[in-house]
Structure 1
Amino acid sequence: MESTLQTGAVRSFEDAVYRKVSWRLVPFLMVCFLIAYLDRVNVGFAKLQMSQELGFSETIYGLGAGIFFIGYFLFEVPSNLALHRFGAKLWIGRIMITWGIISACFVFVKTPTMFYTLRFLLGLAEAGFTPGIVYYLTCWYPAHRRAKIMAIYCMGSPLSGIIGNPLSGFLMGGMAGVAGWSGWQWMFLIEAVPAILLGLFCFFYLDSSIDKAKWLSSDEKRVLQTAKREEAKAAGPEVRAGKVFTDPRVWLISLICFCYVTGQYGITLWMPTFIKSTGVTSPLHIGLLSAIPYIAAIFTMYAFGRSADKHRERRWHLIIPCMMGAVGFLALPWVIHSTSLSLVFLSIAAAGILTCTPLFWSLPTAFLSGAAAATAIAMSNSIGNLAGFTSGYMIGYLRDLTQSGNSAYFMIAGMLMLGAFAIWTIPAKLVNK
């Protein structure tokens, strides 16, 4: 009886420590992710005015939107290794300040070449942010606590749609003509400022490791360090970072990432265009309506993340959202005449696709740790995010070629179904922890 009481007291103290860590780190990181995502995809809103004003075709926009991910791909792994070496405080702050400055420079875009160049540089600047945060959180939480935490952190993505899309629509409509600038120019400038301010705040707020956290007592640090040691012991000998590139498991999860990211940027980069094609014309109305699918995504992300941790099951919790995304896109060609029905299936697609992100990150950290985990996270994310390039460019090209979005919807649905099949091939014992 006494032993049971002691065990309960230990568990209660451990839960309290992780609650303290979560309240300290997760809200701030979620806000950072919200701003990162907003600066990455607000070009989808700028397109509504910028393309017409500058004479950009759908293909030019799609290539420019997608070329971001080439820069992201090239610098992703080096950036995450730099974070592992220099610490989160320095590196995440550097990333945010750099991308904020480059994002503000979009107000000067006049030609396709300038557009392509700045999108490429923005990708270079932001490379390493998301996998860096994922790796950073693995330094604080063991595997069985990470899915829910990642789900909360990744809510920054749909929140950027809920908050950012109406804001972008408002800025583009309300600021048009002020000081001789177009609405899309003011949108880029104003939405870049929070990234710079948050980047500066990172230097004072984040701690690069458990040991350096002055807001934790020695007993609280001991709880966190013990959990990490036990997890590392269960994972077996640490794999050298260089071995990651020849590990077939890492290539498989990179394929999975590529498939669901195809759908992710199909949604986030083209949502305003999808809604406009149903007959809505006001930028503010488009912004308000495009927030609805992201609201659905928030509830779905939290429910799946909590369930995955509770049941310690990862595969089916990832397969089902992938298939939800595929169903949503397959239905769009048949309901495009109706704004309300289109929103229903866009909501199903967004809820499924965006839920994949936090659940996916439990895969590489389930069988790797340390620098190898940092490399695997960066590698899978960089390869996966090449889908942002192929998805953005192919959707624009297919829309110009066919004067319809139907073939693009089918392409995205097919990639999501391929991703679901790839997840199914992973042995359950490898990732269900």
Structure 2
Amino acid sequence: MSLIVQKFGGSSVKDAQCIKRVAGIIAETYLEGNDVIVVLSAQGDTTDDLIAKAEEINPRASKREMDMLLSTGEQISVALCAMALEAMGLPCVSLTAWQVGIHSTGVHSDARIRKIDSERVRSELDQHHIVIVTGFQGIDRAGDVTTLGRGGSDTSAVALAAAFKADRCQIYTDVDGVYTTDPRIVPNARKLDEVSYDEMLELASQGAQVLHNRSVELAKKFHVHLEVLSSIVKKPGTIVKEVAKVEKTNIAGVAKDTSIACVALVGLQHNPGVAFQVFDLLSKSNINVDVILQSIGRDDSKDITFTVHRKDMDEAVRILEDHRDTLKFDHIQTDDGIGKVSIVGAGLMSNCGVAAKMFEALYEAGINIQMVNTSEIRVSVLLDEEDVNKAVKAIHAKFFDEL
């Protein structure tokens, strides 16, 4: 007997027909003799609809109250799925995060899971119940509901798989695996049979939406057997593992992110510790910074440019302006009309010319680069937002159409 964790996204449970199909997948797994823990997202556009309702009442609602509101979406999903399984004569129970004991940090709207209690879920499994858990949420030390950020149900599933040492964690979506890029942009994108944890983490962090980046972090840390597959078509998906076969292209895929904004501090004093002061202030307000570029010092001043999530841009500017006297900069420039395109692959470490090939593709497409950022297995470029999809097509064609 195996323990399998299955997670289904919002599009997989968007209506009654979809929920019944999901219940069929769960039932098949259970009737094969497995213990099953299921994690569900909110139905379809429920989260967006709840956000819209909140804005009608209070556009500046506190993050705590937003978490209280948004967490209801998953509760609806798990109850409806349990009803579908009950109708099939199968024993099951739906549980919220607080009933399970999914303990998180207290950062509303972007909490992290600290630990998971085992008693309730273990008791239900011992009674051969299918356990259906709300994804995307936890409770903090005060007992308040928190949410884990967009895509957080993936993280809930992997965390449960790690906590209960599941044999497999299956992430069901409306696509049948991880592709070399978004097939909605490039119709001939290829499905990967397998991808490494490191490559998947970079792809997810750089905008690929198939998996939440923190779920991949957890899977790598706890060696969770992770699989991405379709809830619509029964066929093999993509295995995420420690070491994966490298394509002849030396890259696993091309990712894009159009949810970012650029902030530039111009005319900072060229003193030791200034960069620390800037990013420490942003960190204390839970603002994540991605690409960073510091200019060469000139006339005792320098510029620091960085990217943040677009929703955090105004707050980042406010925080920095509030500390203008301490930081001693001339002015701030912002740009929320940019996007990021990245190539990711383990082959970047050992093969010369991969980055040059990417830049060649952009040159041939007539696309100008604003900033470049690299890691051992990734090269990212910042571009005008209007050029992002064009860049993805050009880069993908350069690496994959020439095989």
TM-score (norm 1): 0.21
Select the structure of larger CA radius of gyration.
Answer: 2
More strand by share: 2
More helix by share: 1
TM-score (norm 2): 0.22
